[in-house]
Structure 1
Amino acid sequence: MEKGIESIFKAHLEPKEVYKGGKNIPSTARKIYKLSSNENPIGASPKAVEAAKTALSQIDIYPDQTDIRLREALVKDFNSELDIDQFITANSGSEVIDMLLRAFVSEGDEVIFSNPCFLPYAVFSRWYGAKQIDVPLLEPNYDLDVEGILQAINEKTKVIFLTNPNNPTGTYIPKAKLESFLARVPKNILIVFDEVYRHFADAEDYITALPYVKQGYSILGLNSFSKTYGLAGLRIGYGYTTKTIANYLRLIHKPFLMPLPSLEAAIGALNDENFIEETVKTVKEGRRYLADSFIELGIRFWPSQANFFIIEPPLPEMEFTNNLMEHGVMVRPVTQFGAPGKVRITIGNQEANEALITAMKKIMP
């Protein structure tokens, strides 16, 4: 009896919830403030834009076969603390996640993450047949459950996702807690340390993956050009890790992977120190303004080390979101991220932040 094409489908790719990005600004005559996708509040790096425009005159030819020029720029950006062979790049931080899961995870393996968190950790690992182990952050402060993760580790554990600062909560992992955790994790498990919001963190005990990569831990610092550099539309990301892990990941790195405009824009953005400083300054000023405003309005929120806040809205999350949209402000409910009833609000420029607070005052019950 002839079988249909479904007979060759992979069993673990059965229909399930997929990752849905934030909505784009709808076509409308009125001004909309998009505070739903954690994009840069002041736009894109001028040096990156100029580099991308120049590259457009060459899009009839193939781009660089490898990413070596971008990795050279990253070495410089990291003050030569890492070697060129310790970087891996891709079309977005999300694709770096996909690449490392493709390289390390097989059907039946286990991947650990902690909700609320970035949904692709679970969605992408499912593509490769991995079992998702959720060790939730500890409420009410969304602290990392170190003991819970350690207890969840077994011989099938291949990857552990840590996010610092965390999306969507804006919380972070203090240095002492991180070091205690790293000392107790088996060396044959890859720790993916998602630090795409690292530029905005200013807590005294905040730390990136850099010192632990230099010490030889099995850890990968995941980064993106979508936030600080304002290149979300060009989809560029990178990771840094030990030479052993990076060289292994390069075995599945496609040739001509990065479009020329994206490659040139990323290199240009790394050289635009003024834009980076202005972005960080705008976010930190906006973070203080919104925190003070939330307190004034009696809105429950969590202190943030990122370019967004998570709040407990005064109305049901969808009603709150839709009502704000009626006043020209887009925000994002984060039930899908594992935080039911909460809403994530990106920090914008001062005009956008004031528009948000004005709108919230109008819809407060």
Structure 2
Amino acid sequence: MKKDIKSIFKPHLEPKEVYKGGKNTPPSNKKIYKLSSNENPLGASPKAIAAMKAILDKIDVYPDQTDIRLRMTLAQDFDGQLSADQFLCGNSGSEVIDMLLRAFINEGDEVIFSNPCFLPYSVFSRWYGAKQVDVPLLHPNYDLDVEGILKAINEKTKIIFLTSPNNPTGTYIPKSVMDDFMARVPKNIVVVFDEVYRHFADADDYVTALPYVLEGHNVIGLNSFSKTYGLAGQRIGYGYTTPTIANYVRLIHKPFLLPLTSIEAAIGALNDNEFVQKTVKTVLEGRKYIASAFDDLGITYWPSQGNFFIIDPPLPEIAFTDKMIEEGIMVRPVSQFGAPGKVRITIGNADANNALVSALRKIMAK
């Protein structure tokens, strides 16, 4: 029987949903504010830029064989609460997700996530033949369905993805909810706690993965340098966890994994507390201003702990997105994230936020 090359393709890799980032290239014929990708409203950390420039004459040689220098700097950034061997670094937070799936998932294993959420949780897990179990966030407030997740766990469950603040909803998991969940989740399951927007969370009961890692739980705090530090173009991220998990996952860490410029940029950014504080201040002020404008205009939105909002637009999502482009604002439809009909809007700098509000007023007046 004659067979072609497709006969050896893995069936779980057949074309299905594919992660697509927000549009990266604004129209060139007019001033456009890009509020579609949750990028830093101030640009990149000046110390990160300086660190990259200082190393440019050395890009002809291989970078560090391991990520140890960055891990040591991260340990300092966490005030010595964690050791360097508790960190995992990769080319973006997304690659750390991929490493975790490669380390723990065999074909037929199960992964739990809660839509609306970051699409790579499901897309990447499919690459390794995992069964994807969606326990949706509860309506209308997008709260975590703790009981639903616990009921969905079985002997094949290997990883549970939690996100706080959550992309694209901006909602978060209160500490009391997280405490309850971590006390009840089985000890042979890895909890990936995506906290890439943690710097912008100011709720009194917000919690990161750190206290649970310190208590020895099988949890991984996932972070990125793309948001707070403005290094989206450098594609660098990290996770922190127990020494046992970190040392295991590091077995699949490729040598020379991180580019030299990314290592230097990340180390520079971690030493730029002034830029971090300025970024957070800009986002929190912008978040308050935009929320007030939404209230005045009667636009339905969800309170956010991130550097973005999700809204129920006054027009169908694509028509609204197109109309916003006409007004000079790029925003992001998020049906692909599991939030049909909704649109995500990034908080920008003062000029961008003013332009956003002006565009919304114009659209709402029609």
2:284 is the alignment partner of 1:278: no
Q: 1:200, 1:280 within 8 Å by CA — same for their partners in 2?
A: yes
Name 2:76's counterpart in structure 1: 76
Name 2:265's counterpart in structure 1: 265
Name 1:115's counterpart in structure 2: 115
Instruction: State the SS of the aligned residue for 1:223.
Output: strand
Q: Which runs of structure 1 show a deviation greater than 4 angstroms over 4 or more consecutive aligned residues?
A: none
2:348 is the alignment partner of 1:344: no
Letter in 1 for 2:43: G
Instruction: State the SS of the aligned residue for 1:357.
Output: helix
Deviation at 1:53, TM superposition (A): 1.2
Spell out the pairing of 1:22-101 with structure 2 (5 A cutoff).
22-101=22-101
Q: 2:165, 2:173 within 8 Å by CA — same for their partners in 1?
A: yes
Q: 1:195, 1:221 within 8 Å by CA — same for their partners in 2?
A: yes
Segment of structure 1 superposing worse, 324-333 or 2-11: 2-11
Q: Distance in 2 between matches of 1:359 and 1:124?
A: 36
Deviation at 1:208, TM superposition (A): 0.2
Name 1:229's counterpart in structure 2: 229
Letter in 1 for 2:180: S
Segment of structure 1 superposing worse, 250-259 or 28-37: 28-37
State the superposition RMSD in angstroms: 0.7
Instruction: State the SS of the aligned residue for 2:228.
Output: coil
Q: Distance in 1 between matches of 2:67 and 2:246?
A: 13
Deviation at 1:27, TM superposition (A): 4.6
Instruction: State the SS of the aligned residue for 1:353.
Output: helix
Name 1:205's counterpart in structure 2: 205
Instruction: State the SS of the aligned residue for 2:344.
Output: strand
Name 2:133's counterpart in structure 1: 133
Instruction: State the SS of the aligned residue for 1:29.
Output: coil
Spell out the pairing of 1:278-357 with structure 2 (5 A cutoff).
278-357=278-357
Q: 1:160, 1:191 within 8 Å by CA — same for their partners in 2?
A: yes
Q: 2:26, 2:34 within 8 Å by CA — same for their partners in 1?
A: no
> Which whole-Å deviations, capped at 9, do the CAs of 1:1-24 have from their partners, x for residues lacking one?
342111111111111010000001
Q: Distance in 2 between matches of 1:333 and 1:27?
A: 17
Q: Distance in 2 between matches of 1:148 and 1:55?
A: 50
What is the TM-score normalised by the length of structure 1?
0.99
Instruction: State the SS of the aligned residue for 1:112.
Output: strand
> Which whole-Å deviations, capped at 9, do the CAs of 1:30-80 have from their partners, x for residues lacking one?
211000000000000000001111121111000000000000100000000
Instruction: State the SS of the aligned residue for 1:15.
Output: coil
Letter in 2 for 1:357: V
> Which whole-Å deviations, capped at 9, do the CAs of 1:191-223 have from their partners, x for residues lacking one?
000000000000000000001001000000000
> Which whole-Å deviations, capped at 9, do the CAs of 1:319-346 have from their partners, x for residues lacking one?
0000000111000000000000110000
> Which whole-Å deviations, capped at 9, do the CAs of 1:279-315 have from their partners, x for residues lacking one?
0000000000000000000000000000000000011
Name 2:6's counterpart in structure 1: 6
Q: Distance in 2 between matches of 1:169 and 1:17?
A: 20
Name 1:246's counterpart in structure 2: 246
Q: 1:25, 1:32 within 8 Å by CA — same for their partners in 2?
A: no
